[in-house]
Amino acid sequence: MFNSESWSKLSERAYGYKTEKFSHNGFDIFYSHVKNDIGEYLIAPSFGDFISINAENFEALERFSESNNHMAIKIKVCSETRPDLHNYKVVESGFIHQVEYNSHQDWRNDIIKCKFRNQIVQPEKKGICVEILSDKESLRKFYHMHVLLRINKFNEIPQPWQYFECIYDKYFAQNKGFVIHAYDPEGNLIAGILFIVDGGIVYYKFSASYLEALQYRPNNLLMDRLIQYCDEKGIKKLNLGFTGSSEAYQGLRKYKLHAGASEYPRYMLKTPLYSKLNTEIIAEINKQVAELIKTNPSLDDVDQFSSQYYKYFI
């Protein structure tokens, strides 16, 4: 999904970064041509987790850098084989997790860990309800949760609402994007997942929850209902996206593995010119983010700030 024109166009529409394509022996690389205060550089995929690639297509990566040898380049790839490339510095950069199953029942009975299964049943007994939606107002409610979680738990800014509007236009309006929401017994929204259907795979792209509602432990139930939805649609793969390898990610990594995911290495590829970019700007923006959070900003304040600065985190 991420290595596609549709995904790359999100960054073009939201931030003005031009989408371009490079092809070699039938393998395409969709990338963003970025020009900002950091410099001029090429990013693939833009605001995406990875490009899936086999060893037989590593040559395309080399030819891409050679055809743009005057440019700084950064590419995130997922490959079972570590790329051995001359034109890039290759660094291990976390994991991509994906769940594969024959059926929802097969996943629930034979793939997940016992503790994970028990934590599906618990919120069911507490009266937690789940609903899959694709209207813009539901996306907006999800985004509200997403903003508060990013600010209050992670001390980070989110993508601005304009980016999610682009996701809505490109995927939700085409019946390929959805949110799955969990509600407490009083009908209050407490957690959700934004997912996209593409090429026979469901991509779990964003999750959000209200911290005060985690007593209900809704996340395992949401995962269960999402896989049930996939099975009903004949989809047998759920991609859970990127997970870092640092200690801070160990809880998330464990959660995905207990959900039955297989783990694949991700690699960050950078050409030598990438180190010449003015990345000090990122450090300065992070300082401004910290100052913003101290002010207990409104949603509008956060959105205005993100609209101005999130583009630098591509």
pLDDT in tens, the chain (314 residues): 999 999 999 999 999 999 999 999 999 999 999 999 999 999 999 999 999 999 999 999 999 999 999 999 999 999 999 999 999 999 999 999 999 999 999 999 999 988 899 999 999 999 999 999 999 999 999 999 999 999 999 999 999 999 999 999 999 999 999 999 999 999 999 999 999 999 999 999 999 999 888 889 899 999 999 999 999 999 999 999 999 999 989 999 999 999 999 999 999 999 999 999 999 999 999 999 999 999 999 999 999 999 999 999 99
Distance, in Å, from the CA atom of 268 to the CA atom of 155, rounded to the nearest integer, reads 24
Residue owning tokens 């964003």: 206
258 token code pair: 């207990």
Parallel, antiparallel or unpaired: strands 201-209 and 51-52: unpaired
Q: Please name the residues in contact with 214: beta carbons below 8 A apart, sequence gap of 6 or more.
A: none
Contact assessment for residue 22 and residue 73, using Cβ atoms and an 8 Å cutoff: no
Distance, in Å, from the CA atom of 244 to the CA atom of 95, rounded to the nearest integer, reads 6
**H/E segment holding residue 100:** strand 89-100
68-93: pLDDT as tens digits: 999 999 999 999 999 999 999 999 99
Residue owning tokens 């991609």: 239
pLDDT at 171: 98
Q: Please name the residues in contact with 300: beta carbons below 8 A apart, sequence gap of 6 or more.
A: none
Superfamily (CATH) of domain 102-235: Gcn5-related N-acetyltransferase (GNAT) (3.40.630.30)
Indicate the DSSP class of residue 244: -
Distance, in Å, from the CA atom of 205 to the CA atom of 89, rounded to the nearest integer, reads 27
Question: Which of 117, 120, 3, 119 is CA-nearest to residue 50?
Answer: 3
Question: In this structure, what are the phi and psi dihedrals at residue 249, rounded to the nearest 5 degrees?
Answer: -95, 0
49 token code pair: 């987790």
**Number of Cβ within a 10 Å radius of residue 97:** 23
So where are the chain's domains? 5-94+267-278, 102-235
Question: In this structure, what are the phi and psi dihedrals at residue 79, rounded to the nearest 5 degrees?
Answer: -150, 140
Distance, in Å, from the CA atom of 261 to the CA atom of 112, rounded to the nearest integer, reads 9
Distance, in Å, from the CA atom of 258 to the CA atom of 276, rounded to the nearest integer, reads 41
Contact assessment for residue 147 and residue 239, using Cβ atoms and an 8 Å cutoff: no
